[in-house]
Amino acid sequence: MMIKNSPSGELGIIHNFNAGPSILPQEVIEQASKAILNFNDSGLSILEIGHRTSLFESVMEEARSLVKELMNLDDDHEVLFLHGGASTQFMQIPMNLLNEKDTAAFADTGVWSSKAIKEAKLFGNVDVVCSSKDHAFNFIPKDFAVPNDAKYFHITTNNTIYGTQWQEIPEVSVPLIADMSSDILSRKRNFNAFALIYAGAQKNMGAAGANLVVVNKNILGKVNRAIPTIMDYRNHIKEKSMLNTPPVFAVYVSMLTLRWIKENGGVEAFEKRNNKKAELLYNAIDNSSIFIPTVNKPDRSKMNVCFVMEDKEIEKKFLDFAEENNVYGIKGHRLVGGFRASLYNALPISSVEYLVEKMEEFEKNL
């Protein structure tokens, strides 16, 4: 929530429902702004300090240890902040874990899973063990089996575009890998059950430019291909995520966001708030006669709430009405249409209450 100039030129509160990059805590934005001018009273900007200075090394160390603490990770799990966004992980994972003759299993639950599948095929075999493609990705598959000889099983815990989310983590006998880009740190999970977790920071964890990778070190070093130095997770682990110049400012913003999450009760507290926000909005949609949910109840995402209207003209009117009322970023992804309200950690409950109020007002005056 931010005070700034609205499109009508007046000062107002902006309710930011963007899917990513997305809302950040106001405190984080203020601290990051100060650090651009004078970082930790060094007289230098965070943008102009060397990454091998103790000033930045302590930022990286704090960011990594906060992830460990907030996700309750054991000693086998290493934390890295890398470049290249979540999309780089689509190829870096199979490069590190999949031999040419090996098979990786995937759940295909949308665009991001499909992209991960496409890249894995460059390195080995892929077995898509379940898919919701035939139903416009509007549910999470339940009945499937992962072969015991698969090298790993990959899921996308939250499908940002379609608004579906794995509520339960599937129990499988092979290493589990998850793209958590759009629900990282938003709810409790047994994170140690995962062999590898990755997430672009730009939704729940900070600004664009940094990519979180949590990896169980025991799964590494088992492929027989040559891995380029910068792509080999082991090198990043050895160098404590400082193999080359890290995305300094983006890591700093992530560190501030992680501190903010800790100060505000940690993942458990955010899960409670996020559940409340999602419940408020889904109730409003379910009780409305013009807004239609696109996802069946059990699979609904607590992070990205997708809904449509029957009449596309009225959809357009509501979008205009929302923007006039300082509700930003609720246009649905072009593949789904309609609306998508993203309820990431930094979005206050008051913004959801406000959106619901505006939805009711619009419906009443239609």
Q: Which residues are catalytically annotated?
A: 112, 179, 203
Residues paired with 3 in a beta bridge: 13
| Site membership for ligand PLP, residue 24 (CB under 6 A) | no
- Judged by CB, which is closer to ligand PLP: 200, or 293? 200
Of 146 and 184, the one with the shorter C-beta distance to ligand PLP is 184
Instruction: Tell me if 81 sits within 8 A of 70, measured CB to CB.
Output: no
> In 10 A of CB 122, how many CB atoms?
12
β-strand pairing of 292-293 with 211-216: unpaired
Would you count residue 182 as binding ligand PLP (CB under 6 A)?
yes
Q: Are 174 and 146 in contact (CB under 8 A)?
A: yes
Instruction: Tell me the CA distances in angstroms from 200 to 22, 235, 245, one per residue in order.
Output: 12, 20, 18
Does residue 343 bind ligand PLP (CB under 6 A)?
no
Q: Is 20 in the site for ligand PLP (CB under 6 A)?
A: yes
What is the number of other CB atoms lying within 10 angstroms of the CB of residue 24? 23
Q: Is 160 in the site for ligand PLP (CB under 6 A)?
A: yes
User: Residue with structure tokens 């490069």?
Assistant: 95
Q: Is residue 181 within the footprint of ligand PLP (CB under 6 A)?
A: yes
| Least distance CB 120 / ligand PLP (angstroms) | 14
Q: For the chain, how many residues are written? A: 366
Binding mask 188-217 for ligand PLP (x = CB under 6 A): ------------x-----------------
Give the total of residues touching ligand PLP (CB under 6 A): 11
**Residue 47 CB neighbours (<10 A):** 12
Describe the strand order of the beta sheet including 304-308 as a list of residue ranges: 292-293, 304-308, 339-342
List the one residue from 87, 114, 275, 288 that touches ligand PLP (CB under 6 A). 87
Which residues does 334 contact at the CB level (< 8 Å), separation at least 6?
none
Q: Does 123 help bind ligand PLP (rule: CB under 6 A)? A: no
Q: Can residue 109 be called a binding residue for ligand PLP (CB under 6 A)?
A: no
Closest CB to ligand PLP among residues 262, 333: 333
Where helices occur in the chain by DSSP H, the ranges are: 26-37, 54-70, 85-97, 111-120, 233-238, 248-263, 266-286, 312-324, 349-364
Stretch that binds ligand PLP, among 27-35, 52-60, 79-87, 162-170 (CB under 6 A): 79-87
Binding of residue 156 to ligand PLP (CB under 6 A): yes
Closest CB to ligand PLP belongs to which residue?
85
Among 25, 85, 94, 332, binds ligand PLP (CB under 6 A): 85
Nearer to ligand PLP, 241 or 304 (CB): 304
Q: What is the rounded distance in angstroms from the CA atom of residue 218 to the CA atom of residue 30? A: 40
Smallest distance, ligand PLP to C-beta of residue 86, A: 4
Complex with ligand PLP: residue 97 or 201, whichever CB lies closer: 201
Angle at 106 between CA 101 and CA 112, to 5 degrees: 120
Per rule CB under 6 A, is residue 81 in the interface with ligand PLP? Answer: no
Nearer to ligand PLP, 304 or 325 (CB): 304
Interaction site with ligand PLP (CB under 6 A): 20, 85-87, 112, 156, 160, 179, 181-182, 200
